[in-house]
Amino acid sequence: DGGEATLAFRNAQLASLLTSIGLQLIFVVGQNRKKGLLRILKESLIVLIGAKAPTDAFRVAMGAEQEKDTEVDPMMEMTANKCIEL
């Protein structure tokens, strides 16, 4: 009937999604640890609602420079998050 295969596929998809979100949150904390808790919470919310990719693309398209107290510039941040998503 395919029930077990469907369940296995669903579990694999869920594990993949949760791993991606978890790694993105770890990256957000590392990137913004010197910016304070409010900034970490804001960026984490962006990840949790699924808007990280468009937010990063917007920052790169607008020519945003690397902010003081962040680890990488917006282009590298977008690239790292794309790699995590894959």
Residues belonging to the chain: 86
Tokens of 80: 């790292």
pLDDT at 47: 97
**Looking at residues 41-58, what average pLDDT do you find?**
96
**How far apart are alpha carbons 58 and 34 in whole angstroms?**
23
pLDDT at 3: 84
Interhelix angle 74-85/52-61, rounded to 10 degrees, is 150
pTM over 0.75: yes
Tell me the Cα Rg of the chain. 16
Q: Is the pLDDT of residue 1 over 60?
A: no
